[in-house]
Amino acid sequence: MPIMNAVNRTLVLSALAAMVWMPAAHAQNYPTKPIRLVVSFPPGGLADVIARLLAQPLGAALGQSVIVENHPGGGTVIATELVARAPADGHTLLLTGFPFVANAALRSDLPYDTLKDFAAVARIESSPWMLATHPSLPVKSVKELIALARGRPGQLTYAANPAGSGAHLIGEMLKLTTKINIVDVPYQGEVPAMIAVIGGHADIVISHVPTLMPQLASGKLRVLAVTSRTRLDQFKEIPTLAESAIPDFELAGTQGVTVPAATPKAVINRLSAEIVRAVALPGIRDNLIRQGLHPAPMGSGEYDAFIRTEFVKMQKMFRAANIKPG
């Protein structure tokens, strides 16, 4: 019996050692082939630019090419499902943005479970929206816009993306909180919405900073507020929406990276460390800032907590504003 107990103890210890060694060995050998970085939007857009900016330094750090693949469509569901069903070996990554969490908070028909089928790797940046108007509109602040809207109920229009987008959510929360009646005019994307306001076809546009930046200096748009918690370093003169109309309001689009949930933790940790390191590189950081983005790297654990907190917050906002899937 003592001999058998000794043998059993040896087998158990060997098994435990193997369990500890296998993930470490997986991370040490990773990656073994080129890495796919899947983007939910077409080439040329903000998400695509960020992905290609990250691909080169990440590939250099990992010793393998990082290939950006664009799979637009389905409100980002096509690309997200593709990654959810991919092998969980760290060779297929998803660049996640605002719709990643918003879809989960708004829709019950997704072909995956956002919070269960994905593991957070790292956050890259945070980019708030701006609320802007056509310069002919006789307002220079959100308070003046609210006063004008109250004097013209149902007459002012805001151009935004379809139901469930960040711009639509901000517009509806503004209406709900300030009790104004402005009419939502949906457009398929931020650029068409911006062009509509510049052309005088709508009064207000809610869009990301990089989309509106080129129009600010030319005077084609007048920015009234940003939706970040604090004022932006690049635009200190522009107040936040929280200062102007909705106390404690904060909403920002973010770009990060996730992988299938079963990806080995050691691989996730390595990817996370390399992405956070890449975002801190002066060339990457400065490039993001020049485009009106705020570098805001987070590691795996912090990004996971952020996603779950945003999910709960967005669920409450969608319900409060009575927004349904488009």
Instruction: Give dist(CA 85, CA 130) in Å, integer.
Output: 35
Indicate whether 117 belongs to any domain: yes
Q: What secondary structure letter does DSSP report for 189?
A: S
For residue 8, tell me if it sits in a domain: no
| Contact between residue 186 and residue 160 where contact means Cβ atoms under 8 Å apart | yes
- What is the domain extent for residue 44? 33-127+252-320
Residues 140, 114 share a domain: no
Whether residues 143 and 237 fall in one domain: yes
Residue 165 corresponds to which amino acid? S
Residue 162: the pLDDT is 77
Q: What is the DSSP letter of 239?
A: P
Q: Domain for residue 17, yes or no?
A: no
Q: Which residue(s) pair with 59 in the sheet?
A: none
Quick one: pLDDT at residue 2? 47
User: Residues 227, 261: one domain?
Assistant: no
Token pair recorded at residue 308: 């779950």
The pLDDT value given to residue 31 = 97
- Residue 301 belongs to a domain: yes
Residue 308 lies in a domain: yes
Give this prediction's pTM. 0.85
Q: Is 76:293 a contact under the CB 8 Å cutoff?
A: no
Same domain, 121 and 257: yes
**Whether the bond into 325 is cis, omega within 30 of 0:** no
Q: What is the DSSP letter of 42?
A: -
Asked whether 91 and 270 are in contact (CB, 8 A), the reply is no
220 within a domain of the structure (yes/no)? yes
By the 8 A CB rule, do 280 and 297 touch? yes
Residue 56 within any structural domain of the chain: yes
Looking at residue 26, its amino acid is: H
Quote the CA–CA distance of 88 and 92 in Å, as a whole number. Answer: 8
Q: What local confidence, expressed as pLDDT, does residue 8 receive? A: 54
Query: Which burial class, exposed, middle or buried, applies to 250 when counting CB atoms under 10 A from its CB (0-12, 13-18, 19+)?
Result: middle
**According to the model, what pLDDT value does residue 292 have?**
82
pLDDT of residue 324: 86
pLDDT tens for 198-251 read 999 999 999 988 888 888 878 899 999 999 988 888 889 999 999 988 888 889
Same domain, 169 and 305: no
Residue 29, sorted as left (phi over 0), alpha (psi -120 to 50) or beta, turns out to be alpha
Q: Are residues 197 and 276 in the same domain?
A: no
CATH code assigned at 221: 3.40.190.10
Q: Which helix (H) or strand (E) holds 246?
A: none
Residues 141 and 239 in one domain: yes
User: Does 139 share its domain with 222?
Assistant: yes
Verify that 133 and 240 share a domain, yes or no: yes
Domain boundary, last residue among 224, 244, 264: 244
What integer pLDDT is reported at residue 134 of this predicted model? 94
Q: Are residues 111 and 81 in the same domain?
A: yes
**Which residues lie below 8 Å from residue 141, measured CB to CB, with a gap of 6+?**
224, 239, 244
Do 281 and 297 lie in a common domain?
Answer: yes
Same domain, 123 and 141: no
Please identify, among 244, 275, 293, the residue that sits at the C-terminal boundary of a domain: 244
Angle 166-178/300-320 helices, nearest 10 degrees?
50
Find the angle CA(204)-CA(76)-CA(117) to the nearest 5 degrees.
130
- Provide the b/e sequence for 203-238 (b: ≥16 CB within 10 Å): bbbbbbbbbbbebbeeebbbbbbbbbeeebeeeeeb
What is the domain-level CATH number for residue 114? 3.40.190.150
Would 228 be classed as within a structural domain?
yes
Of 195, 211, 244, at which residue does a domain stop? 244
Write out residues in the chain with pLDDT < 50, as ranges: 1-4, 7, 11-18, 20-23, 25
Model pLDDT, residue 229? 87
Q: How many domains does the chain have?
A: 2
